[in-house]
């Protein structure tokens, strides 16, 4: 690949949004434009009902991003200055950033090298009298060990907020991820199972939290008998009607989309599982994975060089996600060393997200695997 070519010249992209019913979407968008009501209207309500029904949860509240969902969830639960929240050390930064934004302190716990999820047996050691919540992340759609996490939370009077940003449709012992804790947070970023461009959702069956969440996403407003009042400082974290329409079109065939992703993941596994240089993400029994991304660990190899070589072959790839303790802000503030959370640091440099999206073909996966094997074998 010639240096300077942009992503449009790539043969195989990392991810592409998949809109299967563009005709219905066009009709919805025309209806929205004719109504002239572009924010927080009927289509947002329909989208919320569609997903709450699919997840089997009482309430779903659409917001502007997965980060907004996590931020509001913490605020709705009253978590703030001086409070500590348990967070896996290997995850997207927003999981910890929102704790900082409410004035709290994220307490990192290392992750398992096989599942990439939080090491449950290390959570107990990280607790203190200031701990208020645990945010387990179902990384790349792979469910965390929720039984043990909830058990620890119940013993110590903690709240569990599931970061299910990439786990829409994944299940843990028959229950949908995002519905196992007090609150669950979803993302509809373009690399997720369904996308609204940017968008997110909070799900909960706790009636007492719903009014607080809805107010926080809309400037802290509350309708009174004669007017609109501000009862708490809030945000503009609303989802637009057009975004909701985009999400609705994909949510209608959500289970089919997930089944397709599972087949693609199985294809990758079959082609890679016996390679001694590659470690695949381990999935526990009694779980199903919707596969937001397909991430592998190339043992002993720097992912940066592999990403560069794949790009030269016309294939887009990226890192899995981030070791939070080596990022500039957290390293400086809390004086971390890479060795403080060694598994997270190792996954950060060795994990590789391969092209993965609805609409990929088996031939494309075979081409990716062929290129990857050539690179790690020194060809």
Model confidence pLDDT, tens digit, residues 253-276: 999 999 999 999 999 999 999 999
* pLDDT at position 223: 80
Residues 234 and 298 in one domain: no
Query: Could you give the C-alpha distances from 39 to 64, 122, 211, in angstroms and in order?
Result: 11, 43, 19
Strands 84-88 and 131-134: parallel
> What are the residue numbers of the active site?
192
Domain boundary among the residues 227, 251, 275 is at: 251
- Alpha carbon distance, N-terminus to C-terminus of the chain: 16
Residues 136 and 165 in one domain: yes
The domain that contains 291 carries what CATH number?
A: 3.90.1150.10
Residue range 319-351, pLDDT digits in tens: 999 999 999 999 999 999 999 999 999 999 999
* pLDDT at position 1: 34
Domain residue limits at 305: 7-16+254-376
In a domain, 2, yes or no: no
Print the SS3 string covering the chain: CCCCCCHHHCCECCCCCCCCCHHHHHHHHHHHHHHCCCECCHHHHHHHHHHHHHHCCCEEEEECCHHHHHHHHHHHCCCCCCCEEEEECEECCHHHHHHHHCCCEEEEECECCCCCCECHHHHHHHCCCCEEEECCECHHHCCCCHHHHHHHHHHHCCEEEEECCCCCCCEECCEECCCCCCEEEEECCCCCCCCCCCCEEEEECCHHHHHHHHHHHECCEEECCCCEEECCCCCECCCEHHHHHHHHHHHCCHHHHHHHHHHHHHHHHHHHCCCCCEEECCCCCCEECCCCCEEEEECCCCHHHHHHHHHHCCECCEECCEEHHHCHHHHHHHCCCHHHCHHHHHHHHHEEEECCCCCCCHHHHHHHHHHHHHHHCCC
CA distance 278 to 296: 7
* pLDDT at position 164: 98
Length of the chain: 379
Residues 97 and 227 in one domain: yes
Q: What is the mean pLDDT of each run of 10 residues along the chain (379 residues)?
A: 52 92 92 93 96 97 98 98 98 98 98 98 98 98 98 98 98 98 97 96 96 95 82 93 96 96 98 95 96 97 97 97 98 97 98 97 98 91
Tokens 């109504």 correspond to 35
CA distance 42 to 136: 32
The domain tally of the chain equals 2
CA distance 45 to 60: 9
Residues 75 and 158 in one domain: yes
Residues 246 and 290 in one domain: no
Domain boundary among the residues 217, 251, 285 is at: 251
User: What is the reported pTM?
Assistant: 0.95
Residues 339 and 316 in one domain: yes
Residues 228 and 275 in one domain: no
The domain that contains 34 carries what CATH number?
A: 3.40.640.10
> How many other C-beta atoms can be found within 10 angstroms of the C-beta atom of residue 263?
12
In a domain, 1, yes or no: no
Residues 200 and 325 in one domain: no
């Amino acid at each position: 690949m010639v240096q300077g070519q942009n992503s449009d010249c790539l043969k195989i992209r990392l991810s592409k949004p998949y809109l299967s019913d563009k005709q219905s979407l066009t009709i919805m968008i025309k209806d929205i434009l004719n109504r002239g009501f572009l924010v927080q209207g009927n289509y947002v309500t329909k989208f919320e009902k569609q997903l709450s029904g699919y997840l089997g949860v009482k309430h779903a509240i659409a917001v502007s991003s997965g980060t907004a969902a996590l931020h509001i969830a913490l605020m709705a639960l009253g978590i703030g200055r001086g409070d500590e929240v348990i967070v896996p050390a290997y995850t997207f930064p927003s999981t910890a950033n929102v704790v900082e934004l409410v004035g709290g302190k994220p307490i990192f716990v290392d992750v398992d090298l096989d599942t990439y999820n939080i090491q449950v047996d290390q959570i107990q050691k990280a607790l203190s009298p200031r701990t208020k919540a645990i945010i387990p992340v179902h990384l790349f759609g792979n469910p965390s060990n929720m039984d043990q996490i909830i058990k620890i939370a119940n013993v110590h009077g903690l709240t569990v907020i599931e970061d299910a940003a990439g786990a829409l449709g994944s299940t843990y012992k028959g229950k949908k991820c995002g519905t196992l804790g007090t609150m669950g947070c979803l993302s509809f970023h373009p690399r997720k199972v369904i996308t609204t461009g940017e968008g997110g959702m909070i799900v909960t069956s706790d009636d007492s939290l719903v009014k607080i969440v809805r107010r926080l996403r809309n400037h802290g407003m509350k309708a009174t008998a004669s007017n609109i009042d501000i009862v708490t400082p809030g945000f503009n974290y609303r989802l637009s009607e057009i975004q909701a329409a985009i999400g609705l079109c994909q949510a209608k065939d959500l289970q089919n989309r997930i089944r397709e992703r599972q087949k693609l993941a199985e294809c990758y596994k079959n082609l890679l599982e016996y390679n001694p240089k590659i470690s695949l993400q381990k999935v526990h029994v009694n779980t199903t994975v919707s596969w937001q991304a397909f991430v592998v660990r190339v043992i002993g190899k720097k992912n940066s060089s592999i990403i560069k070589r794949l790009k030269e072959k016309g294939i887009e790839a990226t890192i899995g996600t981030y070791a939070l303790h080596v990022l500039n802000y957290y390293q400086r503030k809390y004086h971390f060393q890479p060795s403080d959370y060694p598994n997270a640091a190792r996954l950060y440099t060795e994990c590789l997200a391969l092209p993965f999206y609805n609409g990929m073909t088996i031939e494309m996966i075979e081409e990716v695997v062929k290129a990857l094997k050539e690179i790690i074998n020194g060809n």
